[in-house]
Amino acid sequence: MPIFFSPGQLSQRAEFYRQLGQYASAGIGVVQALDQLQRQPPAASYRKPVQRVLSRLAQGLPLTDSLAGEPRWLPHFDLALIQAGEMSGRLDACFRLLAEHYSDRARLMRQMVSDLMYPAFVLHLAVFLFPFPDFFASGNLTPYLLKTLGLLFPLYGLIAALVYAAQGRHGESWRAAVERVLAPVPVLGTGRRFLALARLAAALEALLSAGVTIIEAWELAAAASGSPALRRAVAGWKPLFDSGGTPAEAIRGSGDFPGFFVNHYHTGEVSGQLDQSLRQLHRFYQEEGVRKLHAVAQWTPRVVYLAVALTVAYRVVGFYMGYFKQIGEAGGF
């Protein structure tokens, strides 16, 4: 599995799940579908992992166990959602959900990279341009490289570390730490939380429709949400369930679920139309989460550009103030 996901790699993952969803909707079994994808994969790097998964399936292992043998290729979030789909018999819906997830991530990343190109160009131009007069006057290359590459390389390292930290392939402790850091961030934290709630609602509806017990369905759906905070919250409900409490009572007493989710779930549980309420919750939080992340993708480059422009303006003003000061001192003013 690559250290970083590029937009192209995210699109390939989306296409992989999109084709699996199409095969599942057409009634084609997972083994036959994976065999077709192994022959004509979205990328050449998919052939060997898919081949190993097929080998495990041929030994009689379930799909989830077969995929679990590829932890460096398949993120934990994907595996949890596929497990929910396998248990509910709704693999087609789970594959479509994963395809939408990776398509949205690829689209957002492309938009952000495209919008960041101009501020990145301005930043590099400023970094190399401002120390150039001193280099031109002295001809000493070492101080010039220290002022330019010495600034850019740590910046590259910081960006690479942030991108690496945000990858979904890390363990739960790492992902929980990232979730805690991003949760207070305006718009971004809310968008991530909404998408996690959307995935939880979709997985829960599929599991309950397949006849999975309510307690087991909640545990599996929480894992499929991709949010360590939600998974821990649901795991802490066991004493309440053992004493005869209901999920509606649990989420009402939990601070991890917004009021809109609590009210809709409670209404569905009381009216006997929980499946319909969960579909509505999935649709609402999916749309709102995607909208907020699109806003982040639009405004992040603008904020970066503003910061770069202000930095350049500060350097320009400082340069001219120093220049006029030297003139004044030379003229005796």
CATH code, 92:
1.20.81.30
Distances (CA, A) of 73 to 25, 82, 169, 294: 24, 14, 9, 27
Q: Does residue 143 fall inside a structural domain? A: yes
Distances (CA, A) of 312 to 39, 207, 318: 53, 55, 10
Residues 89 and 159 in one domain: no
Average pLDDT, the chain: 85
- How far apart, in whole angstroms, are the C-alpha atoms of residue 156 and residue 183? 25
Share of the chain above pLDDT 90, in %: 31
Residues 236 and 112 in one domain: yes
Residues 262 and 209 in one domain: yes
Residues 37 and 173 in one domain: no
Q: Which of 99, 116, 133 is the last residue of a domain?
A: 99
Residues 178 and 257 in one domain: yes
Residues 321 and 297 in one domain: yes
pLDDT in tens, 155-199: 888 888 877 776 666 667 778 888 888 889 888 899 999 999 999
Distances (CA, A) of 34 to 23, 28, 82, 86, 87: 9, 10, 14, 15, 19
Residues 79 and 16 in one domain: yes
Residues 185 and 64 in one domain: no
Per-residue model confidence (pLDDT) at position 80: 83
From 12-21, 135-144, 263-272, 278-287, the region with the lowest mean pLDDT: 135-144
| Domain count across the chain | 2
Return the ∠ at Cα 318 (arms to 313 and 322), rounded to 5°: 150
Domain that residue 74 falls in: 7-99
Residues 187 and 154 in one domain: yes
Going by C-beta distance under 8 Å and a sequence separation of 6 or more, which residues neighbour residue 123? 308, 311
Q: Does residue 1 fall inside a structural domain? A: no
Residues 333 and 229 in one domain: yes
Q: What is the band of 3 on the pLDDT scale with cuts at 50, 70, 90?
A: very low
Q: Which of 66, 99, 132 is the last residue of a domain?
A: 99
Two tokens, residue 181: 């850091």
Q: Which of 36, 70, 99 is the last residue of a domain?
A: 99
Residues 93 and 112 in one domain: no
pLDDT in tens, 280-332: 999 999 999 989 988 888 888 888 888 878 877 877 777 677 667 767 666 55
- How far apart, in whole angstroms, are the C-alpha atoms of residue 219 and residue 223? 6
Per-residue model confidence (pLDDT) at position 318: 73
SS (H, E, C) the chain: CCCCCCHHHHHHHHHHHHHHHHHHHCCCCHHHHHHHHHHCCCCHHHHHHHHHHHHHHHCCCCHHHHHHCCCCCCCHHHHHHHHHHHHHCCHHHHHHHHHHHHHHHHHHHHHHHHHHHHHHHHHHHHHHHCCHHHHHHHCCHHHHHHHHHHHHHHHHHHHHHHHHHCCCCCCHHHHHHHHHHHCCCCCHHHHHHHHHHHHHHHHHHHHHHCCCCHHHHHHHHHHHCCCHHHHHHHHCCHHHHHCCCCHHHHHHCCCCCCHHHHHHHHHHHHHCCHHHHHHHHHHHHHHHHHHHHHHHHHHHHHHHHHHHHHHHHHHHHHHHHHHHHHHHHHHCC
Residues 15 and 147 in one domain: no
pLDDT in tens, 46-102: 999 999 999 999 999 999 999 989 888 888 778 888 888 888 888 898 898 889 888
Q: Does residue 46 fall inside a structural domain? A: yes
Q: Which residue has the tokens 């579909």?
A: 279
pTM for the complete prediction?
0.73
Q: Does residue 202 fall inside a structural domain? A: yes
Q: Does residue 2 fall inside a structural domain? A: no
